[in-house]
Structure 1
Amino acid sequence: MDRLGQICSAALQQYLAHGEARGLDIAAALDTAALDAERVRQPDARIPGVSFQTLLHTLIDHSRDPLFGLHTSEFVQPGSYNVMGYIAMSAGTLQEALSKVSLYEKLVGDMGTTDTRIDDNQAAIRWDCRYRQQPARQHLIDNVLGSWIRYARWLTGNDQLAPAEVWLEHPRPSPALVEEYQRVFLCEVRFAQPCSALIGPPGLLEQPIRQPDPLLLSTLEAHAIQQLHQLGVETSLAQRVKQCIQDAIGHSLPRKETIAERLGMNVRTL
């Protein structure tokens, strides 16, 4: 598989919707990326990551929007995350929804990995982007963190939900662009940080989801596991632990507590 892997076509729709809203020639952008217009509209289609990167670079360039990725987060919806988005809708709390991300995020694609660390004083939800080439990397990070916040607000029905601060690895932009970041996140945004993450008190993750449905959650997870098998992704506990360790390569070796949190179980069970 190519280093950039694949992305579910459903996850592309935010970028296409924002491009259309800005009056961009979407057909031409798809042609540049050698993508079939009919195929990218099929929710379960898988798109090569290299083609997605080319498409993203084309849309960013033509939009002349330095915050194109951040603004695409306005178009997030449950389908943007494949079945994982509907699993989150059926969970009881934001923390339960978040615990499912590490299990099923490969259904959305191979764009990056999520790492959640919670202690008594702070919760840090970090996203490590797999794409290294700019400007795709910056805009992907902006999209993912912005989409998380917007989707969490929709899940909880709390339009003012916000972390204590947002960390971004990008250099600090102009004051006008900083204000726009703060408008979206409703909190302090810090730039040139060692990672990109949402930072806040642990209690923030205890926010209840509006309409939890444990029975539907079980059904959706069974479907998600079946989809992962079809993609050749192992879902046994041993494989999931191995995946957590592999994702940490290049960073510090994860503690067992960190892995347990990511897999949504206590340390003793792990």
Structure 2
Amino acid sequence: MQQLKNYTGSVYGGLGHLLYAFYQSQALAIPEQLARVQNLERFDYILWRDLLTALDQQLQRPALGLQIAELVQPKHLGIIAYIAMSCESLGEALHRYHDFHRLVYDGSPLQVSAENGLLSIRWSDLPKNMATQLTDEVAIALMVGFLKHFMDFKDISLHEVHFQSEAPKHVALYEQYFRCKVRFSQPCSQVLMQVQELSKPFFQGDQTLQQLLTQQAHALLEKLPNTTQTDHRLQQAILTGLQKNLFQIEHIATQLNISVRQLQRHLQQQGTTYQQRMQEIRCMMAEEYLRDPHLSLQEISLLLGYSEQSAFQRAFKQWQQLTPQQWRQRNL
């Protein structure tokens, strides 16, 4: 029990919103503990496990985690969803997920490895008795469900899904959901897929961040005088580059197929610089993100390409003469 007491893992508050949405969809009474975490950015992993366990005992329904995951929305995963929706391939999305997965679940490291042509995605080093079939089930189903619903995952095939727990009576429900072989009583819970799947592009729908970025690019262009096709492409390149932490002028110029000198000359003719133009876009996107109550200041900082939250806060105060917290309170 000492091990559980000292365990400090936490989960993103959006998972609490997801579970709340499931209770509502089933017309179930909301537990007091679940209601209390609705306004928290993060809460203890132990509480997450206990909430799932209590629901499982109440419903005693097969493949419950898969049903919960069916309700996932981008807001339930926070920054991971925003970043994934700006990626162009599964490989790129998984790379970014590996970088930021602790913002969704901070407890055990995510391990991604390749062997014999198969890619393995798994969580490891979780203390005994902390992981249950339902916690593993929800974690894996959320990742796959998000890809399936928002990233047009339909043409990408999983090889196998493994769970540590013993096989339930309704294995077919799992294989129907994941559309692959599902094995139980395995050494670890993991998702296996063919390495070549990583190169497959995402064909994103209307609800993706790419659409939001495009809308914001058009909105910004309307505010700028004498805009050209180069300006349009520049705004889009910077907006996308911020999501991927690739927004240096050299990278942006390469994306536009022009030299750095040509880009600088173009901006000079408009009486601005690359740094000023990027800051305009950062300010605009900061306001957009601050309107989303599910995003913390730390997450917004990362989305805007800042390595430290304090740097974002200083920049925002220069833009708006308000702190991000003050601006959010006035505009929500």
After TM superposition, the score normalised by the length of structure 1 is: 0.71
Report what 2:187 is aligned to: 194
Specify whether residues 61 and 11 from structure 1 end up closer, same or farther in structure 2 by C-alpha distance, changes over 3 A only: same
Q: CA deviation at 1:221?
A: 5.7
- Residues 114 and 120 in structure 2, CA contact (< 8 A), matched pair in contact too: yes
Aligned ranges 1:104-143 → 2 under 5 Å: 104-119=100-115, 121-128=117-124, 130=126, 132-133=128-129, 137-143=132-138
Structure having the higher Rg: 2
Q: CA deviation at 1:113?
A: 3.0
Report what 2:223 is aligned to: none
Letter in structure 2 aligned against 1:185: F
Name which of 149, 159, 162 aligns with 2:157. 162
Letter in structure 2 aligned against 1:204: E
Distance across 2 between alignment mates of 1:140 and 1:15: 12
Name which of 74, 95, 101 aligns with 2:70. 74
Letter in structure 2 aligned against 1:40: V
Report what 2:167 is aligned to: 172
Letter in structure 2 aligned against 1:19: Y
Letter in structure 1 aligned against 2:137: D
Q: CA deviation at 1:219?
A: 2.7
Q: CA deviation at 1:114?
A: 1.9
Structure 2 unmatched runs, 5+:
205-209, 214-236, 246-297, 311-332
Relative contact order, higher structure (CA 8 A, sep 6+): 1
Name which of 9, 18, 24 aligns with 2:22. 18
Report what 2:38 is aligned to: 41
Letter in structure 2 aligned against 1:219: L
Report what 2:262 is aligned to: none
SS of the aligned residue for 1:75 comes to: coil
Letter in structure 1 aligned against 2:166: P
- Residues 90 and 216 in structure 1, CA contact (< 8 A), matched pair in contact too: no
Task: Report percent identity of matched pairs.
Answer: 25
Specify whether residues 131 and 60 from structure 1 end up closer, same or farther in structure 2 by C-alpha distance, changes over 3 A only: farther
Q: CA deviation at 1:165?
A: 1.2
SS of the aligned residue for 1:210 comes to: coil
Matched, 1:219 2:215: no
SS of the aligned residue for 1:159 comes to: helix
Report what 2:175 is aligned to: 182
Distance across 1 between alignment mates of 2:152 and 2:56: 31
Distance across 2 between alignment mates of 1:65 and 1:215: 47
Letter in structure 1 aligned against 2:172: E
Report what 1:64 is aligned to: 60
Report what 2:81 is aligned to: 85
Report what 2:272 is aligned to: none
Matched, 1:6 2:10: yes
- Residues 153 and 202 in structure 2, CA contact (< 8 A), matched pair in contact too: no
Specify whether residues 4 and 62 from structure 1 end up closer, same or farther in structure 2 by C-alpha distance, changes over 3 A only: farther
Name which of 90, 94, 97 aligns with 1:98. 94
Q: CA deviation at 1:85?
A: 0.9
- Residues 153 and 159 in structure 1, CA contact (< 8 A), matched pair in contact too: yes
Name which of 141, 148, 155 aligns with 1:146. 141
- Residues 121 and 202 in structure 1, CA contact (< 8 A), matched pair in contact too: yes
Distance across 1 between alignment mates of 2:28 and 2:127: 24
Deviations 1:92-148 (A, max 9, x none): 2111110112211121132543211124621111233736437x6211111111122
Structure 1 unmatched runs, 5+:
232-270
Deviations 1:22-77 (A, max 9, x none): 22211xx2x2x3x5x3x5334x6221223323322222222222422222110122
Deviations 1:233-257 (A, max 9, x none): xxxxxxxxxxxxxxxxxxxxxxxxx
Q: CA deviation at 1:226?
A: 3.5
- Residues 19 and 63 in structure 1, CA contact (< 8 A), matched pair in contact too: no
SS of the aligned residue for 2:117 comes to: coil
Report what 1:253 is aligned to: none
- Residues 53 and 134 in structure 2, CA contact (< 8 A), matched pair in contact too: no
Q: How many residues align?
A: 220
- Residues 87 and 221 in structure 1, CA contact (< 8 A), matched pair in contact too: yes
Distance across 1 between alignment mates of 2:115 and 2:24: 42
